[in-house]
Structure 1
Amino acid sequence: MKKIKVLMIGMLTALGLTNGLKAQDWPNLAQFQKANAALEAPKEGEDRVVFMGNSITIGWLNARPEFFEGKPWVNRGISGQTTPQMLVRFRQDVIALQPKVVVILAGTNDIAGNTGPSTLEMIADNIKGMAELAHANGIKVILSSTLPAYDYPWKPGLEPALKIIALNKMMKDYCNEKGHIYLDYFSAMVDDRNGLPKKYASDEVHPTKEGYAVMEPLVEAAIAQALSEM
């Protein structure tokens, strides 16, 4: 039996498949581990805010770093991520950082099928799971609408526009029910195709500086409201 096992491992190695035998960091918990460890606990009176999301969130920090400078705001976006991945890392990348407020922006990569097929109910459940964890830990929740998307360049033909509208309605209704803040980027950015116009995103998915300029006063107002309600 031992010889057979050794032989099988040898065959897998020859085929370059041994990486599949190793545990994989599917939610990418390693991405911010060092940064989280280096981040000091909030000082007295500090209004820390964590931005949880995907490429749209981390792209904000890359495109407009000045928007985050001088503020107690922590960006924890990871490109390509879906809501189940965010839910797994939510304790590490949000709760453990002890923010007063979390801004969650998620859902479009689920609709694109980045980690497999997802129903709108599955996506909503994962976002609700993050909101419930935050609420249970005394963190005020801001749930952002998913941004408009007429099509995905990396997965064309999925017709996401109406799915995004439906998901946003589900999230708005949930916020109204639970007392969370609903942050409506969608209405401020959508075009007549229910997509994101090129003036806000050259690939019609990921905002440019002009797109983030539309989003910034909206999130600032939502954060101010969240802090005033605490």
Structure 2
Amino acid sequence: MNEKRPALIKPGFFSIEAAADRRRNEFDYHNEALLYHQQRIDFLFFGDSITHWWDVATFFGRSGQVLVNRGIGGDTTEHARRRFAADVVQLKPRYAVILIGINNTWALDAFSPEDRLTPEEIRHQVTTDVEAMVKMATEHGIQPILCSLLPTCMDRYSRNHERNELVVAINASFQEIAEETGAIYVDYHSELTEADGITLRSELADDGLHPHVIGYRLMAAVLQKTLRERGITLGPDA
């Protein structure tokens, strides 16, 4: 028996400290299996830990749709952009649910001055990378679903208010990108904030950043409602 393996795009490894490297072997093996079996994918979720830790199969998988999760905890837009061809484009999902960018904002708090960035520098970095991913998806016949960054509630960080203001600015840019490219914009942010409009509701996450099951349930409802308005069905009702 001498079966032929599928041609496989691999982004390789980025550095000894890159979060994106933590699941690289796992994703390469899984991507090869999907290609070998010519598996048709309905929704591919792509992003950082908020995607990584979202059990999308439980929330949405009871409908028989094929769902794939390509989230990596700690990933930044720079590395996400570099792995997008491997983890999204070559798998050819019908829809790519993109949620990435919050980890870039840690550059506000970087210990070393040379590693710190201004809010405007971070916004430019995030939006440039995300726009490139959205356009790459569109060019390959994949419908991008661009999701807002989530608010945070982490008082232990001295610049967290500034981070939340930056998140609002980035989301405004995401909306513009969606309008210009035909991506579907999903506004999680406005449903997850306190009355101030920028802070994560404390009852939705244990650490002020990652949603627990109630936070994810709310996100699922927002995502499904947004898609339903476009005539797109994702799983059963949340």
Matches within 5 A, 1:92-111: 92-111=86-105
Structure 2 segments unaligned to the other structure (5+ residues): 1-12, 234-238
CA contact (8 A) 1:53 1:76 kept: yes
1:220 pairs with 2:215: no
Match of 1:36 among 28, 31, 34: 31
Match of 1:59 among 49, 53, 63: 53
Q: Give the structure 2 partner of residue 134 of structure 1.
A: 137
How many aligned positions are there? 201
User: Which amino acid in 2 is paired with 1:77?
Assistant: G
Q: Give the structure 1 partner of residue 236 of structure 2.
A: none
Q: Give the structure 2 partner of residue 9 of structure 1.
A: none
- Bigger Rg, structure 1 or 2: 1
> CA offsets per residue over residues 44-95 of structure 1, 9 Å max, x none?
xxx611100100001112xx64114343111100001110111011011001
Match of 2:190 among 182, 187, 190: 187
CA distance in 1, matches of 2:232, 2:141: 12
Identical pairs, percent? 29
CA distance in 1, matches of 2:72, 2:227: 21
Moved more, 216-225 or 196-205: 216-225
> CA offsets per residue over residues 152-208 of structure 1, 9 Å max, x none?
76x553431100000000111121122211100001111134211221111111000
CA distance in 2, matches of 1:91, 1:131: 11
Matched residue of 1:52: which SS?
strand
Structure 1 segments unaligned to the other structure (5+ residues): 1-21
The TM-score, its normalising length taken from structure 1, stands at 0.78
CA 142–152 in structure 1, closer or farther in 2 if over 3 Å, else same: farther
**How many angstroms does 1:105 deviate by?**
0.3
The TM-score, its normalising length taken from structure 2, stands at 0.76
Q: Give the structure 2 partner of residue 82 of structure 1.
A: 76
CA distance in 1, matches of 2:85, 2:226: 22
CA contact (8 A) 2:135 2:181 kept: no
**How many angstroms does 1:142 deviate by?**
0.7
